Amino acid sequence: MPHIETWYFETSAVNFLLDSLSIESAVETRKLQNSKGRVWRISPITLWEIMMTSNTEKREKLIYFCQHLFSESLLPTPSELITAYIHQGAPRVEKVRPLHSHSEIAKVWIDLVSNSKKTFKIDHNELRSRAKFIQGHIRSIHQITKNSDSIITLADKNTSTEISLSHLIRAAEGVENIETMHPNKIKFYKISMYFMLVFLCGEADIENQSIKDFWTKAGIDSTTERVHFAVKELHKLLHVGPFATMALMVISQMTGKYPRGLWFDCMHSVYLPYVDYFFTTDMHFQTLQHAIHEPALSQKLVFLKKDMIT
């Protein structure tokens, strides 16, 4: 069976194509690319970012354009990718598997692509509120990148415990002695650990059902117990996989003030190992490209320019 290439388009690339192609051209482009064994795909992250566009006319134009250009099958949510990665044992190279989201937004998207007269019913204020709540957690990363130790509060129904990231890293198996570790490596591990706590243990994703299911199957409800389990059993996630990629994304951007789009950039970066090409116009991904030391990954990034579209 011939390999079907997956071409992923981050939100800035979608905006770029909207300014470059008509709806008719979008329809013909999808037909042509499919005939060549290339599927142009977006993710729930792309759609969530589009739906947060405050300008209603621009938002609906983007959605309508996507309905005509991209596949009806969304890539999995970051939560779906993370839990599947854990189930495979956190390998350096994952087994090939179908990459289709089973999230609620993915089910709606299939319907919208089949009938372009339909659109999302959006509670815009609620969506932005949920996203800002999660982004608020990510802001703490700015302090971590300055090599200051961050104290994490583990809150359960009746109790709360404060613990430092350094303490958790010392407790994780497979991590060398933090006392003799290079400061940049300490920074990397702290950020990876923070993402594991926030996204996996704290379920901080807009659509997090797969993480809820993961903990239900593990029989662990308490946040504190989740953290202890993750540090002891899932320490590989500090070195490789989605959280490690997200940590590189953070480190590559943290040279000045906190970047507003950091959370979405981190979420998009998770898709890099899973696609054949990753299209963007966001130069933050160029700094990520320089931070990645695996040519097989960095070479997937394609930066769209006007002269590429005819």
Nearest Cα residue to 189 out of 212, 164, 223: 164
For residue 16, what pLDDT is reported?
Answer: 96
For residue 33, what pLDDT is reported?
Answer: 95
Tokens representing 43 are 């993710």
For residue 172, what pLDDT is reported?
Answer: 85
pLDDT tens digits, residue range 47-97?
999 988 889 899 999 999 999 999 999 999 999 999 999 999 988 888 878
30 neighbors 62 (Cβ within 8 angstroms): no
Which residue is it, tokens 């957690």?
137
Name, in order, each residue with C-beta under 8 angstroms of 180's C-beta and a sequence gap of 6 or more: none
Write out the DSSP string of 133-189: HHHHHHTTHHHHTTTPPPEEEEE-SS-EEEEEHHHHHHHSTT---GGGS-HHHHHHH
First to last CA, the chain: 31
Indicate the pTM of the whole model.
0.89
Which residue is it, tokens 């243990």?
201
Nearest Cα residue to 298 out of 286, 281, 282, 308: 286
For residue 150, what pLDDT is reported?
Answer: 66
Give 20's DSSP letter.
Answer: T
Show the low-confidence residues of the chain (pLDDT under 70): 1, 124, 136-137, 142-143, 145-162, 255-259, 308-310
